[in-house]
Structure 1
Amino acid sequence: MPAQLGDKLVIAISSRALFDLSESHQVFEQEGLEAYRQYQIAREDQPLERGEAFALVQKLLHINTLLEGDSRVEVVLLSRNSADTGLRVFNSIQHYGLSITRAAFAGGRSPFGYIPAFGCHLFLSTHADDVRSTLDAGFAAATILASGIRRESGDELRIAFDGDAVLFSDESEQIFQREGLAAFQAREQQNAHQPLAGGPFKSFLAALSKIQAEFPEVADACPIRTALVTARSAPAHERVIRTLRDWDIRLDESLFLGGMDKSAFLRAFGADLFFDDQEGHCQRASGVVPTGHVPHGISNLQVTDE
C-alpha cells in the first residue's frame, strides 16, 4: 500500500530557504545554467552553509524524537534544481543529519504544483512567484527574507503570526484601509461574537495545535510555542479571542500592540520564524528574527497594482 502523509504536519521547503545558496545562485545569474551545474557538481561533497529556515526545520524534525519514534512531522524538499544539480543539497541534508527523505526536483520550473500531492500545510521559499502561486492555490506559504539572523540553540520551536490576512481573512483589514481606524474598531466591536473567516495560515496553526496537544499540559513540556503578534488593540481584541476559541485552536501568547513596531516584541519572544502580510513590517522584523512575508490580502494587491 502506498505511503500516506495525511496524518502528519507536512512542511515543504525550497533548497535556498534551507541552505545558503547565494554564491551558486550568483554563478547562475551571471554565467548561466551550465556554469551553475558544473559549479555544484564540483562542490557536491562540500556541505552548504545553513540557510534562513534551517533552525526552524531542525527544531520541527526534533519533535519526532521527543515523541519517541512517532513521526508526526514531515519536511519535504521542493526545488527548482534538477536532481543532478540538487545532489549537493541532499548531501548537505545528510551531513547535518536532517531526516528529510522526500523531494521534488522540478528542473528549472516551479515546484509548487507538487504541494497538493504531498499534502503540505506550509511552503517556505525565497522565490516570491512560487509563494504567490501557492497562496492562490489555497495553501499557506511565505517568502523567506534574507536577514542573517541566527536563533540561539535550543529545542523549543517558537513561531509568531500576524493576525489579519495571515491567521484570519483580510475582511477587517479592508475596512481599516478603506474607512480608517475608527470604522475598523467600531465594526470589530459590533461583530465581536461573529468569528472571523480563516486566513491562509489557519490550517497550519491548527496542525501545530494538534501536535501541541500530544504533550502533557505542564510547564515546559511542549517543544512548540506560538504567539499572535498583531497591531490590533482593545476593543478589536475580543473578536480575535472569540474566533480562536470558536476554532478550538491553541495560541500560547497574544500581543495586542495597537500599532506599535513589532520588532522588540518579536525579539523578546525569540521567534524562530515570524509571518506577516505587510512587507514593511517584515523588513523591520527581519532585522531581529527570521521572517516570512505572506503576500496575501489587500495590502499586497495594492503593491501589485503600483
Structure 2
Amino acid sequence: MSKGLKGKLVLAISSRALFDLSESHQVYLTQGIEAYRQYQIEHEDEVLEPGEAFPLVKKLLSFNASLGRDRVEVVLVSRNSADTGLRVFNSIQHYELAISRAAFSGGRNPHPYLNAFGCDLFLSTHADDVRSALDAGFAAATILAGGTRRAQSNELRIAFDGDAVLFSDEAERVYQAGGIEAFQVLERESARSPLRGGPFKGFLEALNLLQREFPDDACPIRTALVTARSAPAHERVIRTLRDWDIRLDESLFLGGLDKSAFLEAFAADVFFDDQAGHCERARQVVATGHVPHGISNPLRDLPAD
C-alpha cells in the first residue's frame, strides 16, 4: 500500500462519525440532496455537537503535543461536497482540532482515497463505505450511536475483539460449522501455529509503534483484547501475538460472558467487534465500532446506517 503520510498513524474519519449530523442527515433522507445542501449552507456558522468518535480523535491528536512531533494525522474523508462540508470545517476550527486535510467525494464512496492518504483506520457511519474499505484491505468500522462517554482522561483505552477483527475468521468458521468441540480440537492442535492476521492487525501494529515512543510507565495509550475465547483456546492467541511482536496491555478471555461489564471495568473509549449482537450490547456502555468482516457478516446483515 502507498503511504501518503509516512511515519504517522493515520485515522480517516467521516463527517458523521466526527460530529453529530443527525438533524441534517434527516433532511437528506426526507427531502433529498438539494435540500440537504441548502440546509448546510444556511447553518454553516452553527457549530456541530461532537459525534461518537470525537473523543477518540481529540485524544489521538493530543499525543502530537506530548511527543513534541506530529506522529498522528486525522483526515476527513466524507461523502459531502466541499460546499456542504464547509460547516464541518468550521466546527473543526471551533474545537481547535488539528485537522487540515480532507477528501470530499460528492456523494460517492470515498474509500479510494484511503490508500492515497496511507490510512491505518477508517471510521464512518456509512456501512457500505466501511465494507468497501475492509475489502480493500483497510481496518474500518461502522461507528454506532449510543455509547456512554467516558470521564475526561488523558489516557486512551482501546479494546478489540479477537477473531475476525485482530485475527482472521478461520477459527470462527470452524466453530460455526462444527460447534465448540470442533473449535477446541482445532485450537489445541494448532496452539503453536499463529493465526492469520485480521483487518485490524495493521492498525494494532501502528498503535503499538506509537505506544513504544512513550516511557513504559507513562504511556497514555492502553489496549485490551476482549474475546469470547477461554482456555484451551487462549494459547494460540498468546503465541500469535508473540509471533507478531505485538503487545497488548490487557487480555480478557471471557468464555462467552457478556463483554459489556468488562468493557466498563476496562474503561474503554472505543471497542471494535465483528458480531452485531456483541456490538448492540457494548454500545450501551462504550462507543462501539462494528467491523462487518468475516463469516458472521453476510451482506444481508449490514447494520442500519
Note the C-alpha offset of 1:35.
1.4
| TM-score normalised by length of structure 2 | 0.96
Tell me if the contact between 1:52 and 1:149 (Cα under 8 Å) persists in the aligned partners: no
Match of 1:265 in 2: 262
Residues 281-305 of structure 1 show CA distances to partners (whole Å, capped at 9, x for unaligned) of 0000000000000000011128559
Pair 1:94 & 2:79 matched: no
Q: Could you tell me how far apart the structure 1 residues matched to 2:267 and 2:197 are?
A: 26
- 1:50 counterpart letter in structure 2: P
Q: Could you tell me how far apart the structure 2 residues matched to 1:152 and 1:25 are?
A: 28
Alpha carbons of 1:154 and 1:40: their partners in 2 closer, same or farther (altered >3 Å)?
same
In structure 2, the gaps of 5 or more residues are none
Pair 1:278 & 2:287 matched: no
In structure 1, the gaps of 5 or more residues are none
Match of 1:8 in 2: 8
Q: Could you tell me how far apart the structure 1 residues matched to 2:258 and 2:24 are?
A: 35
- 1:159 counterpart letter in structure 2: I
Alignment size in residue pairs = 300
Match of 1:29 in 2: 29
- 2:23 counterpart letter in structure 1: E
Tell me if the contact between 2:147 and 2:288 (Cα under 8 Å) persists in the aligned partners: no
Match of 2:137 in 1: 138
Tell me if the contact between 2:147 and 2:285 (Cα under 8 Å) persists in the aligned partners: no
Pair 1:127 & 2:100 matched: no
Q: Secondary structure at the match of 1:50?
A: coil
Tell me if the contact between 1:142 and 1:295 (Cα under 8 Å) persists in the aligned partners: yes
Match of 1:207 in 2: 206
Alpha carbons of 1:250 and 1:278: their partners in 2 closer, same or farther (altered >3 Å)?
same
Note the C-alpha offset of 1:149.
2.2
Q: Could you tell me how far apart the structure 2 residues matched to 1:129 and 1:144 are?
A: 12
Pair 1:176 & 2:175 matched: yes
Q: Could you tell me how far apart the structure 2 residues matched to 1:193 and 1:31 are?
A: 57
Q: Secondary structure at the match of 2:225?
A: strand
Tell me if the contact between 1:157 and 1:224 (Cα under 8 Å) persists in the aligned partners: yes
| TM-score normalised by length of structure 1 | 0.96
Residues 69-105 of structure 1 show CA distances to partners (whole Å, capped at 9, x for unaligned) of x111000000100000000000000000100010000
Residues 212-234 of structure 1 show CA distances to partners (whole Å, capped at 9, x for unaligned) of 0011122xx00100000000000
Tell me if the contact between 2:269 and 2:287 (Cα under 8 Å) persists in the aligned partners: yes
Q: Could you tell me how far apart the structure 2 residues matched to 1:119 and 1:248 are?
A: 22
Residues 180-235 of structure 1 show CA distances to partners (whole Å, capped at 9, x for unaligned) of 101101110111111000000000000000010011122xx001000000000000
Alignment map for 1:94-113 (pairs within 5 Å) = 94-113=93-112
Alpha carbons of 1:283 and 1:5: their partners in 2 closer, same or farther (altered >3 Å)?
same
Note the C-alpha offset of 1:148.
4.8
Q: Could you tell me how far apart the structure 1 residues matched to 2:299 and 2:85 are?
A: 36
Q: Secondary structure at the match of 2:231?
A: coil
Q: Could you tell me how far apart the structure 2 residues matched to 1:189 and 1:62 are?
A: 43
